[in-house]
């Protein structure tokens, strides 16, 4: 059993040391898909590159090409189990809504190649002790830093978008606001004064502290009758109308003649 484990470690060491750590430049992506799965797409190029024939222990594919300068280029690709990287100090562990990546590579090398490697999480990176963070990516440009101290400690969301607990909290708050508005509307409608639909609007009675401030919707109309001008009464005995002496005047009555 111990001999078998040593063979596995030796195979991993051959793949990583030959393809990823010996060369002039390493670039590509290292995707943390979940707590169990990792996807790799890396190019390692340079005069000192020694590409392994395969990386069976890591379950990855290694393709060797020659660049324009005549140097070997190792292209390491594939999706594999996260536990295969544990012997090299690369582990992934879950923590509620997050994935925690810890990289602490073994030292013992005099020099490390330059690098431009993007470590990507499914969701936004919340914290990283090394590298440059942009959204869901931690960019590593110094492999030697991964061998010093505690190496890289990065935390990212296990899925795109906000954490589920935050979505649930916002949904609960929104439901509470809507319920409050509905209850308030019902209370206003219940407390609204009722009136006879046939009664005039000014008969609506107001009660409570707002009664004095209430103003009738329609003020009662006051009908004012026109005043007829009555001349002042004359004083003294009645006056005899003047006698009509015109040609067409009626003759005086007999009573008038007797009176004359």
Q: Where are the domains of the chain?
A: 2-157, 166-192
Model confidence band, residue 200 (pLDDT cutoffs 50, 70, 90):
low
**Do 49 and 74 meet the contact criterion of CB atoms below 8 Å apart?**
yes
Model confidence band, residue 26 (pLDDT cutoffs 50, 70, 90):
very high
Mean pLDDT of the chain: 74
**Looking at per-residue confidence, does 197 or 114 come out higher?**
114
Residues in the chain: 260
* Coil/strand/helix, residue 103: strand
**Looking at per-residue confidence, does 230 or 97 come out higher?**
97
What pLDDT, on a 0 to 100 scale, did the predictor assign at position 237?
Answer: 63
What pTM value is reported for the model?
0.56
d(CA 82, CA 66): 30
Q: Which residues pair with 64 in a beta bridge?
A: 74
User: In terms of C-beta density within 10 A (0-12 exposed, 13-18 middle, 19 or more buried), how is residue 87 classed?
Assistant: middle
Model confidence band, residue 7 (pLDDT cutoffs 50, 70, 90):
very low
Bridge pairing between strands 72-81 and 137-142: unpaired
Cα torsion angle, 53, 57, 61, 65, sign? negative
Question: Is residue 91 pLDDT above 60, yes or no?
Answer: yes
What is the side-by-side order of every strand in the sheet holding 72-81? Answer: 61-66, 72-81, 37-45, 25-32, 114-120, 137-142, 132-134
d(CA 119, CA 27): 11
d(CA 206, CA 79): 77
Q: Range with the lowest mean pLDDT among 14-28, 63-77, 124-138?
A: 14-28
Model confidence band, residue 30 (pLDDT cutoffs 50, 70, 90):
very high
**Do 97 and 152 meet the contact criterion of CB atoms below 8 Å apart?**
no
Neighbouring residues of 100: CB distance < 8 A, sequence distance ≥ 6: 92, 93, 94, 153, 154, 155
Question: Is residue 172 pLDDT above 80, yes or no?
Answer: no
d(CA 91, CA 35): 9
Which one, of 12, 22, 50, lies nearest residue 114 by Cα? 22
Structure tokens at 43: 């190019």
């Amino acid at each position: 059993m111990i001999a078998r484990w040593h063979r596995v470690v030796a195979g991993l060491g051959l793949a990583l040391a030959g393809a990823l750590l010996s060369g002039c430049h390493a670039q590509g992506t290292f995707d943390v898909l979940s707590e169990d799965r990792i996807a790799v797409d890396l190019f390692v190029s340079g005069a000192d590159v020694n590409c392994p024939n395969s990386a069976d222990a890591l379950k990855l594919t290694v393709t060797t090409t020659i660049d324009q300068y005549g140097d070997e280029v190792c292209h390491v690709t594939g999706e594999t189990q996260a536990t295969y990287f544990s012997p090299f100090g690369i582990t992934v562990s879950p923590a509620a809504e997050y994935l925690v990546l810890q990289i602490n590579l073994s030292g013992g090398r005099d020099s490390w190649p330059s690098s431009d490697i993007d470590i990507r999480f499914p969701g936004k990176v919340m914290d990283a002790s090394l590298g440059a963070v942009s959204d869901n990516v931690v960019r590593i440009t110094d492999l030697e830093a991964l061998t010093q101290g505690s190496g890289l400690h990065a935390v990212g969301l296990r899925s795109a978008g906000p954490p589920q607990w935050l979505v649930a909290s916002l949904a609960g708050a929104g439901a509470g606001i809507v319920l409050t508005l509905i209850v308030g509307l019902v209370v206003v409608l219940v407390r609204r004064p009722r009136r006879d639909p046939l009664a005039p609007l000014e008969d609506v009675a107001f009660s409570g502290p707002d009664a004095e401030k209430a103003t009738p919707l329609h003020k009662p109309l006051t009908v004012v009758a026109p005043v007829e001008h009555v001349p002042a009464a004359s004083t003294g005995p009645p006056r005899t109308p003047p006698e009509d002496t015109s040609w067409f005047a009626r003759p005086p009555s007999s009573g008038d003649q007797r009176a004359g």
